[in-house]
Amino acid sequence: MNYDKALEEYIRKMPSLPTSLRKVLEICDNPQTSPSDLNHVISLDPVLVGRVLKLINSAYYGLEQPVKSLTRAIIMLGINTVKNLALSTTAIIHLSEKLSTGLDLEGFWRHSLCVGVSAKLIARKRGIDPMLIEEYFTAGFLHDIGKIPLNAILSEEYLKTISIADRERKPLYETEMKTLGLNHCSIGAKIAYSWKLEGAVGDSIMYHHECEEYAGYYKDILYSVVVANRFASIADIGFSGDRHRNPLPSMIWETLNITSDIFEEIKEGVYDEIKKAEIFLKIISKES
């Protein structure tokens, strides 16, 4: 059966990224951006203002006095944290409405958070420019978004696909192609195109299971996401519907100049970062 039409219609009807978020992403990509610049953009979106203030005043930060100033909140959180809050919560709201069958909502987003923070910490360990590190998080966090439409539109078929992959001990993306004639990477790429997430994020969504075929500019970020995805599987953090994976190509380790020892080096930091990032999910769950 050809599912393309139904999936494309689902993606077409998905809300586009809010104008305020587009402006936040644009301004955060400018190295000259200041907290006051970001304040000017965010202040035009009351919902986003509320999320930023909820985050800084959450129990995680344990502040004695509540922060009521948006500019101060941005300074304390950091521009990149605010950017990720905006993007992550928007993705959750737009994509998780029907996520209840083959994929468990909490498990899926926990996996996504793990891959995002792991990619970020791997980049940090490797001495990547701090100005670039947050893009590793975003690429990792959104790498599996193509599973959302599959789960929403093809609920029964996708649950069976996940079960077959588990029973036959095959990677999920291979089983998707076998049973559905498409996979979450190609569907995710269509969402990335719709949301204008070109570059490293879109390429990581499309190629994270076919990295050997990738000939683009963003190998460093893509390969980091692939390694982070493996760490999430080994550490059993969250659930992406994919329990069995092929071995990583040696070129990935060689290109990044790391070994699997990196997993032990980042493990503690990953759990700490996930604890912080899960505040995003709590903020959203209280809004829904």
145-180 residue pLDDT tens: 899 888 888 888 888 999 999 999 999 999 999 999
Which residue reads 């190998």 in tokens? 219
Measured from the Cβ of residue 216, the count of other Cβ atoms closer than 10 Å reads 12
Rounded to a whole number, what is the distance in angstroms from the first to the last CA of the chain?
35
102 pLDDT above the threshold of 70: no
pLDDT, tens digit, for every residue of 199-227?
899 999 999 999 999 999 999 999 999 99
- Output the six-digit token pair for 125: 């360990």
- Domain boundary assignment for the chain: 4-287
Query: What does the pLDDT read at residue 280?
Result: 61
Q: What is the CA radius of gyration of the chain?
A: 19
Q: What is the pLDDT of residues 28-62, one digit of tens each?
A: 777 788 888 888 888 888 878 888 888 788 776 77
Q: Print the SS3 string covering 122-133.
A: HHHHCCCCHHHH
- Give 179 or 95, the one with higher predicted confidence: 179
Give this prediction's pTM: 0.81
pLDDT over 60 at 124, yes or no: yes
Write the CATH number of the domain with boundaries 4-287: 1.10.3210.10
Residue 193's pLDDT is what? Answer: 86
Q: What is the pLDDT of residues 249-258, one digit of tens each?
A: 999 999 999 9
Span 280-287, average pLDDT: 59
